[in-house]
Amino acid sequence: MTEANRKNATFSTPNLTRMAILVAIASILFMIEIPVVAFYKLDLSNLPVLLGAFSMGTAPGIIILALKSMIGLLHSSSGGVGELADFLMGAALVIPASLIYHRSKTRKNALIGMAAGTLCMVAVGVLANKFIMLPFYMGAYHMSMEGILKYANVGGVDSEWKLLLLITGPFNLLKGVVLSIVTGLIYKPLSPLLHAKVKG
């Protein structure tokens, strides 16, 4: 398949329809958050992103992720900073996962890809919190790091790096594992609906 044909297949009408549906589902899931630890909350909004990336390719997956984040701006409480961090962490998960899976579309490669993506998301999550999220909240709410740690209220976590390595990192690991498990369970049953039948 030539590059032009691949592009046409990616942005075919069936694929665009599936992408729109996945964006809508992701946007709804983005608003459903489950408190886990400190101020971190778990959501499954990147589940449709992974499904789209596995079924249609990395580029559609990133488009779904970007549109979900842009729609999230409509109800953002962080001036878009949280959505930026979410996009970076989502991309860190989805890009390795989908690239590895599409080398050879096997269950083994899917699991390896999601494991690699989860580790990347953990690393990017720590960096995004260090350089984007924590500075934003410190500035927006005029809080010191001591104030943030007090607000987090986790025993034994008394420094920024302890927060990042003992709370942020494990939280994103949990999030990646949950997303990977759910994706692994539902991808095959949903596969007939997720794969566009492109003619020509």
**pLDDT per position as a tens digit, 133-149:** 999 989 988 899 999 99
User: Tell me, what amino acid is at 52?
Assistant: G
Tally of structural domains, the chain: 1
Report which residue type is found at 148: I
Q: What is the pTM of this model?
A: 0.90
pLDDT band at 150 (very low <50, low <70, confident <90, very high): very high
Query: What would the mean pLDDT of 102-122 be, rounded to a whole number?
Result: 96
Of the pLDDT bands very low, low, confident and very high (cuts 50, 70, 90), residue 75 is confident
**Domain-embedded: residue 200:** no
**Inside any domain, residue 140:** yes
- Domain with 109, as residue range(s), is 3-194
Which residue in the block uniquely carries the two structure tokens 């962080």? 78
Torsion angle of the four alpha carbons 105, 121, 187, 103, in this order, in degrees rounded to the nearest 10: -10
Instruction: Please tell me the predicted confidence (pLDDT) of residue 71.
Output: 95
- CATH number for the domain including 115? 1.10.1760.20
Specify if 199 maps to a domain: no
More confident residue, 170 or 6: 170
Asked whether the beta carbons of 77 and 96 are under 8 A apart, the reply is no
> Looking at the predicted structure, is the pLDDT value of residue 7 above 80?
no
Give the span between the Cα atoms of 115 and 179, in whole angstroms: 10
Q: Could you tell me the two tokens for 131?
A: 């350089």
